[in-house]
């Protein structure tokens, strides 16, 4: 089987899921889709910390935990479906990457709900955490990356063709990936 890699970029209540492979040392997109990480795609669920901010603390905690469980389930289901489709096309999902934001650790829920800026940060981190915690997922090598350096995981350690893609990418990029 040919190898493929998957990457996720999280948004409010959804994630882009893109799979790529190499053909003749050239990266090629195999599939891309928009994966909903909430059942009901409305503001209340796409912005769980904003919603929780209008609730008593214990109700807020339960709401956020329920939203995280739902997002993990939906993300896992989408990735399993992608793995099956790739298998039908002769690909094995061998690598994965989740793009991160700043990577700063968040305080506890009570502190988050007291700061509108932290609420925004927590809403984004919430869905990235769901992807980190997906259950029953089998990808040989996964990682999380700060956004600008994402290509490094996709091209590292998978053989000469992935190394060639890395060299090709480095020659063609215009911005530094060391941010």
pTM comes to 0.77
Is 114 domain-assigned? yes
Residue with the bigger pLDDT between 147 and 127: it is 127
The tens digit of pLDDT for each residue in 32-53 reads: 999 999 999 999 999 999 999 9
Is 49 domain-assigned? yes
Quick one: pLDDT at residue 110?
97
> Domain containing 16: what range?
2-172
Is 177 domain-assigned? no
The tens digit of pLDDT for each residue in 66-124 reads: 999 999 999 999 999 999 999 999 999 888 888 887 667 899 999 999 999 999 999 98
Is 179 domain-assigned? no
Q: What is the mean predicted confidence (pLDDT) over 8-28?
A: 92
**C-beta atoms surrounding 18 within 10 Å:** 18
CATH (domain of 46): 3.30.420
Is 178 domain-assigned? no
Quick one: pLDDT at residue 89?
94
- In the chain, the number of structural domains is 1
DSSP H helices, 22-159, are 43-46, 48-52, 57-88, 109-113, 116-132, 150-155
The tens digit of pLDDT for each residue in 48-71 reads: 999 999 999 999 999 999 999 999
Q: What are phi and psi of 86, to 5 degrees?
A: -65, -45
Is 86 domain-assigned? yes
Quick one: pLDDT at residue 109?
97
**152 touches 177 (CB < 8 A):** yes
Which pairing describes strands 2-10 and 14-23: parallel, antiparallel, or unpaired? Answer: antiparallel
Angle at the Cα of 77 from the Cα atoms of 72 and 79, rounded to 5 degrees: 95
**Helix (H/G/I), strand (E/B), else coil: 124:** helix
133: pLDDT strictly greater than 70: yes
Q: Could you tell me the two tokens for 144?
A: 């999380």
């Amino acid at each position: 089987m040919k190898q493929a890699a998957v990457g996720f970029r999280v948004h409010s209540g959804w994630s882009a899921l893109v799979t790529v492979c190499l053909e003749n040392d050239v990266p090629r997109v195999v599939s891309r889709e928009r994966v909903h990480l909430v059942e009901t795609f409305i503001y209340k669920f796409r912005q769980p910390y904003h919603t929780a901010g209008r609730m008593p603390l214990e109700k807020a905690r339960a709401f956020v935990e329920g939203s995280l469980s739902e997002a993990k389930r939906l993300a896992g289901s989408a990735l399993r479906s992608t793995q099956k489709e790739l298998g039908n096309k002769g690909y094995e999902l061998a690598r994965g990457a989740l793009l991160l934001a700043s990577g700063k650790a968040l305080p506890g829920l009570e502190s988050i709900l007291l700061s509108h800026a932290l609420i925004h940060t927590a809403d984004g981190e919430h869905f990235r955490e769901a992807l980190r915690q997906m259950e029953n997922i089998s990808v040989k090598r996964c990682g999380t990356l700060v956004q600008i350096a994402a290509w490094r995981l996709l091209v590292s350690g998978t053989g000469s063709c992935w190394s060639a893609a890395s060299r090709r990418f480095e020659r063609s990029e215009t911005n530094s990936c060391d941010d």
